[in-house]
Structure 1
Amino acid sequence: MVKSYQGVRVVEDKKKSLQPIYVKDYMTTNLITFNPEDGIDKVVDILTSKRISGGPVVDNSGKLVGMISEGDCLKQIIKGKYSNTPDLGGKVSEHMSTEVLTMGPDLSIFDAAQKFLTLKVRRCPVMKEGNLVGQISISDIIKAVQDLKSTTW
Structure 2
Amino acid sequence: MGIKSFQGARKQQQNTVEAPAFKVSDYMSRELIYFKPEQTVEEVIQILIRNKISGGPVVNDNNELVGVISEGDCLKQISESRYYNMPMEQHIVENRMIKNVETIDGNMNIFDAANKFLESKIRRFPIVENGKLVGQISQKDVLKAAIALKGQNWK
TM-score (norm 2): 0.81
Structure 2 match to 1:5:
none
- Is the aligned partner of 1:37 residue 2:26? no
Q: Which residue of 2 aligns with 1:22?
A: 23
Task: Name the structure 2 match of 1:7.
Answer: none
- Post-superposition offset of 1:80: 2.8
SS in 1 for 2:17: helix
Q: What letter matches 2:49 in structure 1? A: T
C-alpha separation in 1, matches of 2:152 and 2:134 = 31
Following TM superposition, the consecutive aligned residue runs of length 4 or more in structure 1 with deviations greater than 2 angstroms are: 13-16, 80-89, 150-153
> Does 74-83 or 48-57 show the bigger shift?
74-83
Residue 135 of structure 1 aligns to a residue whose secondary structure is strand
Aligned-pair distance for 1:81?
Answer: 3.6
Aligned position for 1:121? 122
Shift of 1:89: 4.3
CA deviation profile, 1:99-121 (whole Å, cap 9, x unmatched): 11111111111111111111111
1:150 deviates by: 6.2
Using the aligned pairs only, state the percent identity.
46
Amino acid of the structure 2 residue aligned with 1:123: R
Q: Which of the pair has more CA radius of gyration?
A: 2
Unmatched runs of 5 consecutive residues or more in structure 1: 1-12
Residue pair 1:77, 1:88 contacting (<8 A) in 2 also: no
**Alignment match, 2:8:** none
